[in-house]
Amino acid sequence: MQITAKQLAKLLNGTVEGNPDATVHAASKIEESQEGTICFFANPKYEAYVYNTKATILLVADDFQPSQAISTTLIRVKDVYASVAILLEQFGNRQIADVGISEKSSIHESAKVGEQTSIGDFTILSKNSRVGANCTIYPQVFIGDNVQIGDNVILYPGVKIHHDCQIGNNCILHSNVVIGGDGFGFASQEDGSYKKIAQIGNVIIEDDVEIGSNTTVDRATMGSTIIHKGTKLDNLIMIAHNVEIGQNTVLAAQAGVAGSTKIGDNVVVGGQAGIVGHLKIPNGTKIQAQSGVTKSVRKENQALYGYPAIDYKTYLKAYAAFKNLPSLVKKINELEKKLKEIS
């Protein structure tokens, strides 16, 4: 595909600065840009690359003020990342799976498959399961009894969805995601052993949810573990039984949420952060990577950091003092000494 700066500016609702007929055929990273490509600049850390890029077109923010001369044709847009999303769709060689149902799959006679849905080799659709239309179910997927899956869903190889769980429309589940494994529930017995508590609930994943590779979402003890619309989970995340996560919330890789905690909308949880069970995390909360949240959060839109997590700025200030603790101790000892001398 060949496309000009003028055409791209129209597509992205931006303005051209330079040669409107400059033509590109691909996108590249700003650190590795090549002639004939468009690359983008959004993160200030990469500004040095702007001034010696070989890219033919450079996508920048409306308000970007170069500190040196730039020879490249610029396209200025309101939101660079949003434009990149549109751009990569243009250039991306999206995988189009063969439409069809593999003869090497195993589909129960009671299972239903919508139109234009493809089912890969060695994939299993169990009793009374239902997959909607226009779905791509890759090979080696397991879909348990009574599972319901909406339209336009992509399940990558190795995804396992257990009985009674529900997946909405437009969801993407990456390889080896496990939905609906048993919640971790045991009753301790007098002899110190544990008796398993049957986990008879399910998992409900609403529309437009994306879940990264090897993430696990456990089924509820009773009722449902719920991930609401538009929420995005990265890789290797643990969502325990009866957790509920609101809309358009983002969890970075290796975060974990313990049982029955309720997370609101538009929350951002950093990588490797943990949230203990039975808490409420309101809308707009920001939890810094590796933090450990041990108490419910009262107000919306707060930023948290630390272990256990406290107010973000309070943690940073305390940590700055922490680093100097040895010299502080020394100072105190000197004060003590002087005071003794005086008194």
Ranges within 11-50 binding its own copies (CB under 8 A): 27-29, 32, 43, 45
How is 79-132 classified by DSSP, letter by letter? -HHHHHHHHHHHH-----PPPSB-TTSEE-TT-EE-TT-EE-TT-EE-TT-EE-
Nearer to its own copies, 20 or 54 (CB): 54
Closer of 64 and 122 to its own copies (Cβ): 122
Asked, as a colleague might, if the bond just before 44 is cis with ω within 30 of 0, I would say: no
What does the DSSP assignment read for 284-332? T-EE-TT-EE-S---STT-EEEETTEEEHHHHHHHHHHHHTHHHHHHHH
Task: Give me the least distance between CB of 156 and its own copies, in Å please.
Answer: 7
CB neighbours (10 Å) of residue 6? 16
216 makes contact with its own copies (CB under 8 A): yes
How many residues of this chain interact with its own copies, rule: CB under 8 A? 120
Task: List binders of its own copies among 278-307 (CB under 8 A).
Answer: 278, 289-290, 292, 307
Q: State how far the Cα of 315 lies from the Cα of 306, in Å rounded to an integer.
A: 6
Q: Which is nearer to its own copies, 114 or 223 (CB)?
A: 223
**Residue in 162, 174, 241, 278 annotated catalytic:** 241
> Closest by alpha carbon to 211, among 183, 239, 246, 244?
239
Name which of residues 314 to 343 contact its own copies (CB under 8 A): 314, 317-326, 328-329, 331-332, 335-336, 338-339, 342-343
- Closest among 292, 160, 186 to 241, alpha carbons compared: 186
Asked if residue 85 binds its own copies (CB under 8 A), the reply is yes
Among 101, 133, 276, 303, binds its own copies (CB under 8 A): 276
Q: Taking CB under 8 A as the criterion, which residues in 110-149 touch its own copies?
A: 120-122, 124, 138-140, 142, 144-145
The answer to whether 241 is a known catalytic residue is yes
> Of 238-257, which residues contact its own copies (CB under 8 A)?
238, 240, 242, 247-248, 250, 252-254, 256
CB atoms closer than 10 angstroms to residue 233: 28
Q: How far is the CB of 191 from its own copies (least distance, A)?
A: 8
Q: Tokens at residue 209, please?
A: 């949810």
Give catalytic residue positions. 241
